[in-house]
Each structure stands twice: as structure tokens, then as C-alpha cells.
Amino acid sequence: MSFDAIILGAGPAGSTAAIVLARRGFQVALVEKAEFPRRKVCGEFVSATSLAVIDRLGLGSTWRSLAGPEVRRVALFSGERVVTARMPAAHGAGFGRALGRDVLDDLLVQEASRAGATLFQPFRATGVRPSGDESAVTIASRDEEATLSAPVVIAAHGSWEPGGLPSQLQKTNAPSDLLGFKAHFSGARLEPDLMPLLVFPGGYGGMVWADRGRLSLSLCIRRDALAALRKEAGGGSASDAVHRHLLASCRGVRAAIGEAQLQGQWLAAGPIRPGMRARYRDDVFRIGNVAGESHPVIAEGISMAMQSAWHLAEELEAIDPARRAERDAAGRRYSRRWRAQFGARILAASAIAGLALRPAGARLMGGAIEALPALLTLGARLSGKTKTIAEMSNERVGVGRMRLS
């Protein structure tokens, strides 16, 4: 089966790219291994800087009608410490909100299908190889295999699972690995406009109200810290150990979920792989977490996924995708735009996470924020909470504002 573009993975990155390219007349194949709706390890907060993209995808009013309340304040909950500060507003876009990934990812994939993308779901992409001037992608479901071909291949499969694709990362197993956990709670108590950063021994996390009265709690914890907690408890599940540890070590978490009910199961994923990676290599474009990932401490991954897809789609619209030289040039331009848009926040996230994960750093950070709560606002600004795509395009890259309407 022949297409203009094959997209591997239908998370926020893959589905955004599929919607934009399909609307621009590309014949798009979107390959997703999981059945939707499905929950996912994620804090589910979407920065205001992505609202322009969500609006232009045609999902703005649905998103606004479903998402949790506007997050107008940030906080630090660490030990006995509870400090709040204002969230900086993004120019003209207001404030971010959270929507469950079971809902958001399903909305996006359905829109991709409405836009004309051909959906292969549940199908896993198992291989990518050059085939003449194009690439051939092998995909497999439980009882079917197929080969798709296209000049443009976009890897959007996230970064937490190993596999045989050239863009997949290998699994690591080190004591310092960060493992991700996530749970929803009902009946929680947290001020509606507040998104606290949680800092606790061995990790960090966050809480925010999402859709349907669900509180979304997500965190990262070092592998060795988790092992020690489980040993101390004499066994039991990792999620029980994490849950107990949070309640024992953080007053703000106790106040918020001490009496709340867990909805469904805790989810776990990882190790997570923060850092910058190739954005284009061997004729495969990479978006979302595949291209690079910030520490979840800044809650920017969904925005980076959608915005990187947007940047790439703008570059692909402007070329003849059948010509390899034009794809290479688009790959270089996209790569520069990606770095200009996201590089600083990846570094800022790494610095914040580095402090949060070390006992002395966490003490230093807590003391400084208590003395000067505006540091929380500054941290949100440094982590990209006010940096929209349009602003970026005009500021440094010299290209026009977003073109789709």
C-alpha cells in the first residue's frame, strides 16, 4: 500500500502530524499499536502555549468543554513545605489545563481519521527500510501483516519502549533510572487552580485536576529508591510502595489524596529518557519524545509533541516530498526549529530535576522557593510555559505565523 507519509505512533505527536498533513492533501497512514481509549503514564497537563495548535486542529471547543480547570498557580509541596506562586500566562492564550490521555489521544486520533488519514490500529510498526526512493514500513497486528511504502516516514512512537525500529532506544537498567508512575483519584482535595510540584526523597511529581473530577497524580522515582522502599516494606507492589512513600513524605499530598479514592490502577512506565536526540536521520523524521524529551518535572511533553509535529508539518508542506534532497533540506530546517523552540526548556528541566533528585539540592530549592516564591513563576517561564509557536516563528526562525486555518 502506497502513501505520501507513514506515521508510526498515534500519541499527541503522531496524531497532530497526521491531522495537519492529511488536511494539506497528503495521503497519510497512521499506525498505532494500542487500542484506544487507553490511559497512559502522564500528568496530562497541556500548556497554554499549545492551545493555538489545538484550536487550529479544530478541537479547541471540545478540549475546553472537557478539560479540568485553568491552572493559574503553581506550588511546591515538599516535606512539610507548601509554597504557592502565580503561573505566568502565555501571550494571548491564557492558562493551561489538564485532560486525561484516554480522552485527549482518542480525540486526536479520531480527528486524524476524519481528516482523511488511514488508521492502522491496533498495528505495531516492526521495521523501516529504504526501498528505492521511498521507505518500506512493515506493520503487524495479532493476525495480519502488511508492508506500507511512502517517501516520508515520521517516527512518533514515544521513547519508553525498546524495539526493532531504528528510531527506538535501547532499554537501560541503572540504579539512577527514573521510573514513571501515574494514578487518578476521585474525591481529592486540592484548590482547583493549583498545580503543585511534588518533591520527595528519591523523586519528584505533580498533581492537577483533569476532566470529570479526576485528580491526575504522576511522578518519577529513581529505581534504587523504589527498590529500597519495597525492601523496607518487606515486599508488596511497586505502586503500593510509591503511594505510601508519597503520603508519608509530603504534607501537601496527604491533604490532597489522604481521603481520596484511587480510580483504576496505578500505571507504571520507563525508564524515562530525558535529553535531545536526532530529529531527522536516515530519511526518517522524528517528533515528540522520539526527537527529545524534557524531564516531566516541567510537564511540557505533550506540548513538545504537538508543537514538534506542527513544525515538521510546516516544513513538509513546503517541499516536494518525493525528492530525497528536499526531504533532507526539510529535515535540517526542522531540526534547527526544534532546537530553537525546545532546547532551552530541556536544559531548564534537567537543572530543576537535578536539584529535586538530590537531598541537598531539594533542601536548597525548597529553602530558596520559600524565601522567594516568585522563583516558581520564573521556573514555569524558563520551562516554556509562555513560549508559543507563533512567537517563536517570528522571533528567531524568520518564518511566518502558523498557516493553517
Ligand X SMILES: Cc1cc2nc3c(=O)[nH]c(=O)nc-3n(C[C@H](O)[C@H](O)[C@H](O)COP(=O)(O)OP(=O)(O)OC[C@H]3O[C@@H](n4cnc5c(N)ncnc54)[C@H](O)[C@@H]3O)c2cc1C
- Write out the residues near ligand X by the rule CB under 6 A: 8-14, 31-34, 41-45, 124-125, 156-158, 161, 163, 180, 182, 218-220, 272, 288-289, 293, 296, 299-303, 305
Q: How many CB atoms lie within 10 A of CB 327?
A: 23
Closer to ligand X at the Cβ: 78 or 289? Answer: 289
Count of beta carbons in the 10 Å neighbourhood of residue 375: 16
304: three-class secondary structure by DSSP: helix
Nearer to ligand X, 384 or 400 (CB): 384
- Shortest distance in whole angstroms from residue 86 CB to ligand X: 19
Q: Which is nearer to ligand X, 169 or 316 (CB)?
A: 169
Helix (H/G/I), strand (E/B), else coil: 116: coil
Q: How far is the CB of 173 from ligand X (least distance, A)?
A: 17
For ligand X, the closer CB: 139 or 316: 139
3-class DSSP state of 7: strand
Q: How far is the CB of 365 from ligand X (least distance, A)?
A: 19
Here the cell at position 294 is 524534557
Q: How far apart are the first and last CA of the chain?
A: 30
* Min separation Cβ 219 and ligand X, Å: 6
Compare residues 60 and 370 and give the one whose CB is closer to ligand X.
60
Shortest distance, position 135 Cβ to ligand X, whole Å: 15
- 125/137 Cα distance (integer angstroms): 7
Using the minimum distance from each CB to ligand X, give the nearer residue, 78 or 303: 303
Burial of 398 (0-12, 13-18, 19+ CB in 10 A): exposed
- Give yes or no for a contact between 161 and 146, defined as CB atoms under 8 angstroms apart: no
Cβ 371 to ligand X shortest distance, Å: 27
CB half-sphere exposure, 209, CA atoms < 13 A: 19
Which DSSP state fits 397?
A: I
Q: Which residues contact 363 (CB under 8 A, 6 or more apart)?
A: none
